[in-house]
Structure 1
């Protein structure tokens, strides 16, 4: 870390040659917007590409395209609930281009041009993106989020924001968001590529070391998702929806446990084997003469909130077969709960998992830089461990034989419950297509269980 709290990660990796992946990660997103700032985290992302102190107006994109970095294809960014991330892959064999790359990410972090004229110019662009981007999935998501993330701040802070606020917000509201949250102690700079590590560390110190955090900095709050006794059902449809799907979530009662010890890693292996075995069963169903869905998948993992994980079953289905798909997902979950898996299934899953990790180990010298960058980003944002493929392969070989059916069959008892559940149906809206009712969904859920 730098003295101002900025975190940095540097790794030499020559795949691809003469390239370096630069990434600026801000541990702040739409979840931190005030009521009158909804949509401004995403708006801020736009402004960073719209002109900075060193690269006014369109000079930034023009310069990058002149050196072969194409907007969207290579150069990109995203805004989520909890983070905003900027990607910049550039040539590493030209010192001038490399220096420009660091100037760009420094400017994104601290020197975006936020004049009233520039903000108003971008307002129309963002509103058009809002209009076009708010497709069927977004519209349906806005409707089901209050149930999926019940009574949590996540339900009220969709990154796309509110149209009325985007049309009318005062310029200083955007400036405030930038100054509050784009600060060194909420940032990481990640540099992975065909580079000299010591030279890159000096560049980070030179470009980022002088910036200070605000004197009265706002606390970076963490937002919980409350548990609920009810089973919520959201049946959503849209005329532009092109496919139907089913989601079933059993939310955990407690906050996620960090992976810290060897025993935690053994639990992680057990979860992976559970997922593999159950999805092998679902895959067999999709290959049957009368498949209940075109694709089915179940796993235990993250939701939109960092503080809440869930056991989740998912299916893509014919538009008039959502209830049938839900019935099969519930039945397969209950079959595991009642009878568990067989030794033969476990042996097959272990063989698959070891083969996969062995392939990664054997190809470790061919690993692309963006893979390492993503791992470091995960560690910075959520402390997701990054022990490296050598350690992982060795630990897997040692621990895999110690994972038995008892370890795996016991997992589902904590996953499946009769409260803290949400069922979401999304699909097309058509004449003659009957929309399932909430009562029908609950009846299938309870009868199949």
Structure 2
């Protein structure tokens, strides 16, 4: 149930009696009072939360609302290339000093220090000690440098060019090769099918220096950024550091619009059958694309709708689990859920299964049949009660163990909230509500 777990991972410790009255579905979801959020005058958004797990540590994260989808035709692969350059030297940490310094304080590259580039975002991770003022200050200097002061000299660019090309060669395995072939159908007639983050080999080999510089100047700007700070910290001190390190920067004049790229709907049913001699597993997948743009969850009524979708998936997946445990299972693992695709502007109801090589059609048949059976006949009352019981037990456990939640988990939640706010400014930062909402919506009564 991994997809659904994420929905209920962060349950806020609000007083129980606040929600003892009947819920009004048009009321907005309140903001978590344990999270300090704000926006600088230049548009940079920040989140700060005190959390003691792990002790004497803090997770810093720099989130850029820009990825490969924004590359020009002659920049394909440079969003990812720019990510590499941030570790190759900055204004305050020239050449290899950045990685050397972090390793000297116990932050290992890859294991702790890391980053990733996707279609719509580029994200930098920096977990550091929080009980040493000097190390804490240097941590903020590092994420400031990543955001605005990365060294982009021809020498450093050429040195990294070979590294990225080797990553391209190694990374272009079975999964990437097959993805390149099925993406034009999955993301039919959209820009996403043309902007895989790994880019184009010819461009990586031959791009001129100004191309990566212009990508950095265009998209690494305050109003497309979020700084997230969660850990064993003093929140007021962290806010002062964010203001000191990031408020002085300005957005470029005549800034390029951050275009939203849609995935067009289509009437046809597309089929992609891809194979590769180096593939290590076999799976089948169904996508029923939503015709509407993803809805923002901002009211109790919206949350009730999300909860309904979650219960639907739970009941359907309980049926798939019974199939998996049958004497002659059609798949080794099967799952269905409603959620995001590669594009942030398109959701889909998705079913997939991991299968033995000789049972692809059997598994596909079961997925289609179970989806159609639900569509025609629905679920039984017993199935619904079982799903509600599972949800409430999960919520109770997570709430009771909230003091054991690792900081990294909160960081992921706030990162997701930032992207929602970017696309839906009216969201105003709402985060997951307290457990009482779930009890009232599922059982029509609060708990004390």
- Could you tell me which residue of structure 2 aligns to residue 360 of structure 1? 398
Unaligned runs of 5+ in 1: 404-449
CA distance in 2, matches of 1:316, 1:58: 43
CA distance in 2, matches of 1:80, 1:392: 31
The answer to whether the 8 Å contact 2:58/2:230 transfers is yes
- Could you tell me which residue of structure 1 aligns to residue 27 of structure 2? none
Please report how far the alpha carbon of residue 102 of structure 1 lies from its aligned counterpart in structure 2 after TM superposition: 0.5
- Could you tell me which residue of structure 1 aligns to residue 48 of structure 2? 10
Cα shift readout 1:337-393 (whole Å, capped 9, x = no counterpart):
11111111111110000000000110111111111111111111124987666x331
The answer to whether the 8 Å contact 1:191/1:373 transfers is yes
1:307 to 337, 345, 355: 345
Alignment of 1:72-221 (within 5 A): 72-221=110-259
The answer to whether the 8 Å contact 2:417/2:431 transfers is no
Please report how far the alpha carbon of residue 192 of structure 1 lies from its aligned counterpart in structure 2 after TM superposition: 0.8
Cα distance, 1:152–1:286 mapped onto 2, change above 3 Å: same
The answer to whether the 8 Å contact 1:27/1:187 transfers is yes
CA distance in 1, matches of 2:201, 2:265: 30
- Tell me, yes or no, if structure 1 residue 272 matches structure 2 residue 314: no
**SS of residue in 2 equivalent to 1:245:** strand
Over aligned residue pairs, what C-alpha RMSD do you find?
1.3
The answer to whether the 8 Å contact 1:26/1:186 transfers is yes
**SS of residue in 2 equivalent to 1:344:** helix
**SS of residue in 2 equivalent to 1:204:** helix
2:262 to 209, 224, 231: 224
Please report how far the alpha carbon of residue 194 of structure 1 lies from its aligned counterpart in structure 2 after TM superposition: 0.8
The answer to whether the 8 Å contact 1:306/1:382 transfers is no
Please report how far the alpha carbon of residue 193 of structure 1 lies from its aligned counterpart in structure 2 after TM superposition: 0.8
Alignment of 1:5-84 (within 5 A): 5-84=43-122
CA distance in 2, matches of 1:401, 1:90: 43
CA distance in 2, matches of 1:69, 1:236: 40
Q: Which has the higher contact order (CA 8 A, sep 6+)?
A: 2
Cα distance, 1:215–1:387 mapped onto 2, change above 3 Å: closer
CA distance in 1, matches of 2:344, 2:444: 30
TM-score normalised by L of structure 1: 0.88
CA distance in 2, matches of 1:76, 1:120: 22
Alignment of 1:255-334 (within 5 A): 255-334=293-372
Please report how far the alpha carbon of residue 135 of structure 1 lies from its aligned counterpart in structure 2 after TM superposition: 1.1
**SS of residue in 1 equivalent to 2:272:** strand
CA distance in 1, matches of 2:173, 2:275: 12
Cα shift readout 1:17-39 (whole Å, capped 9, x = no counterpart):
11010000000000000000000
**SS of residue in 1 equivalent to 2:296:** coil
Cα distance, 1:69–1:107 mapped onto 2, change above 3 Å: same
- Could you tell me which residue of structure 2 aligns to residue 394 of structure 1? 436
The answer to whether the 8 Å contact 1:249/1:313 transfers is yes
Please report how far the alpha carbon of residue 318 of structure 1 lies from its aligned counterpart in structure 2 after TM superposition: 1.0
Cα shift readout 1:228-277 (whole Å, capped 9, x = no counterpart):
11111110000100111001101011101111111111111111111111
TM-score normalised by L of structure 2: 0.88
1:369 to 394, 407, 412: 407
The answer to whether the 8 Å contact 2:417/2:430 transfers is no
